[in-house]
């Protein structure tokens, strides 16, 4: 068996498998960052608009009863 054949059969698949880029971890981090950012925006919107919307929601709730 010559050196090129040995490399193609045994070494190259191992090197490709070890150095292949895996996007699974990166995607998970991106989704976690998106969820965190959405949570921060929601909390900020609720705290900013909470005082102004309390009275209308209270009236709406009283009208439904």
The 3-state secondary structure of 17-62 reads HHHCCCCHHHHHHHHHHHHHHHHHHHHHHHHHHHHHHHHHHHHHHH
In a domain, 1, yes or no: no
- What is the mean pLDDT of the segment spanning 39-57? 87
pLDDT score recorded for residue 44: 92
In a domain, 50, yes or no: yes
Task: Find the domain containing 48 and state its range.
Answer: 22-65
Higher pLDDT, 22 or 32: 32
The pLDDT of residue 64 is above 80 = yes
- What is the mean pLDDT of the segment spanning 42-57? 85
CA–CA dist 40, 34 (Å, integer):
10
The pLDDT of residue 48 is above 90 = no
In a domain, 6, yes or no: no
Average pLDDT, the chain: 81
pLDDT score recorded for residue 57: 82
Count of domains for the chain = 1
């Amino acid at each position: 068996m010559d050196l090129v054949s040995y490399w193609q059969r045994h070494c190259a698949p191992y090197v490709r498998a070890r150095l292949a880029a895996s996007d699974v971890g990166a995607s998970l981090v991106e989704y976690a960052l998106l969820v965190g950012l959405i949570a921060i925006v929601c909390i900020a919107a609720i705290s900013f608009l909470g005082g102004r919307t309390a009275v209308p929601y209270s009236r709406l709730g009283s009208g439904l009863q």
